[in-house]
């Protein structure tokens, strides 16, 4: 065989290999979305069954709200991917709804149907750090590439089990993940012995973090559905959007991570160590 023949053979083989690699890369390319969102919801025993239902209904109503669907549609890709997680102690987390794309009302209603198919559960202790670590690991399984990755964590008390929450928060933020908060300062349910004063300040200083991080405190359960709706709109639209400005004009301002006051990030752990006779619930 001539040199040309051998070279032509080699070139055609290389071209075929390049084509194969190109097709493989295209077939495994990650789909783009505007936001990858983990909804991490507290179900520790401090929450009463009625409060667990209020949480579920609040998220369901928010995800199908016109304002939230508009915020999704207005994104660069017009879609997000969401997973719903319940958490309590260090080793107690469960995925209630796996990663699901939401681009329209039908998608949102499908997500809610999955959510309603599994009744809420509850368990002992409160490990926000465990929830953050679990949530951050889920992004590797989403199968999508978001312009931002967000963990949306709600809870009615401080971290009292597992790693210190502020240390875990910092580790998660280093991965390029934003953590937003929804501190529930409702004073109901079975809470009391392990409550901290100014849970919103605790969340601001110890829990939220990352680019554009913020929180919305809830002082009464009647505020919860609206707080969830607002939070989702702001997370999806971003602080530079017209929707953010409209929300700020119509409601009290959200608290950003840049506004942090001083708080004891080990308050929950200290109360747990000093609990004495108190019930082992949170």
Across 19-23, 196-200, 229-233, 238-242, least confident range: 19-23
Mean pLDDT over residues 227-241, rounded?
83
What's the CA angle centered on 99, arms 125 and 67, to 5 degrees? 95
pLDDT at 147: 95
Residue 2 has pLDDT above 90, yes or no: no
pLDDT tens profile 100-117: 999 999 999 999 999 999
Three-state DSSP at 237 gives helix
More confident residue, 208 or 191: 208
DSSP string, 107-176: HHHHHHHHHHTS----BSS--HHHHHHHHHHHGGGS-EEEEEEEEEEEESS---SSS-HHHHHHHHHTTT
Mean pLDDT over residues 4-15, rounded?
47
pLDDT tens profile 23-72: 444 444 578 999 999 999 999 888 888 888 889 999 999 999 999 999 99
pLDDT tens profile 105-164: 999 999 999 999 998 888 888 899 999 999 999 999 999 999 999 999 999 889 888 899
Tabulate helix, strand, coil % of the chain (nearest 5).
45, 20, 35
Domains and CATH numbers, the chain: 30-273 (3.40.50.410)
Full-model pTM: 0.79
Mean pLDDT over residues 10-32, rounded?
54
pLDDT at 237: 82
C-beta separation of 142 from 83 below 8 A: yes
More confident residue, 178 or 257: 178
CA distance 57 to 41: 12
pLDDT at 82: 98
pLDDT band at 267; cut points 50, 70, 90: low
Q: Shortest CA distance to 179 belongs to which of 158, 138, 141, 149?
A: 149
pLDDT at 15: 55
pLDDT at 157: 87
DSSP string, 255-275: EEGGG-----TTHHHHHHHT-
pLDDT band at 178; cut points 50, 70, 90: very high
What values do phi and psi take at 68, rounded to 5?
Answer: -70, -45
Mean pLDDT over residues 229-250, rounded?
70
DSSP label at 282?
A: -
More confident residue, 251 or 238: 238
Residue 18 has pLDDT above 90, yes or no: no
Residue 90 has pLDDT above 60, yes or no: yes
pLDDT at 277: 40
CA distance 81 to 60: 15
């Amino acid at each position: 065989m001539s040199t040309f023949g051998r070279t032509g053979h080699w070139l055609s083989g290389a071209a075929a290999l390049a084509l194969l690699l190109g097709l493989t890369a295209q077939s495994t390319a990650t789909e783009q979305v505007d936001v990858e969102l983990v909804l991490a919801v507290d179900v520790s025993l401090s929450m009463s069954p009625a409060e667990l239902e209020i949480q579920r209904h609040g998220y369901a109503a928010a995800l199908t709200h016109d304002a939230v669907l508009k915020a999704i549609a207005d994104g660069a890709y017009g879609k997000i991917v969401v997973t719903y997680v319940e958490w309590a102690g260090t080793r107690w987390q469960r995925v209630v709804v796996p990663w699901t794309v939401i681009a329209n009302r039908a998608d949102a209603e499908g997500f809610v149907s999955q959510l309603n198919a599994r009744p809420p559960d509850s368990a002992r202790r409160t490990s926000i750090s465990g929830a953050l670590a679990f949530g951050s690991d889920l992004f590797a399984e989403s199968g999508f590439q978001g312009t931002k990755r967000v963990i949306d964590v709600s809870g009615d008390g401080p971290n009292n089990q597992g790693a210190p929450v502020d240390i875990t928060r910092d580790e998660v933020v280093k991965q390029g993940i934003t953590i937003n908060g929804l501190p529930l300062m409702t004073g109901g349910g079975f809470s009391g012995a392990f409550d901290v004063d100014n849970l919103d300040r605790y969340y601001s200083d110890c829990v939220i973090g990352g680019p554009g991080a913020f929180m919305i405190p809830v002082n009464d359960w009647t505020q919860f559905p609206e707080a969830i709706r607002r939070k989702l709109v702001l997370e999806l639209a971003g602080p530079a959007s017209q929707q953010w400005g409209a929300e700020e004009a119509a409601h009290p301002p959200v608290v950003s991570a840049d506004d942090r006051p001083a708080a004891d990030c080990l308050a929950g752990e200290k109360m747990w160590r000093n609990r004495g006779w108190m019930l082992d619930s949170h």
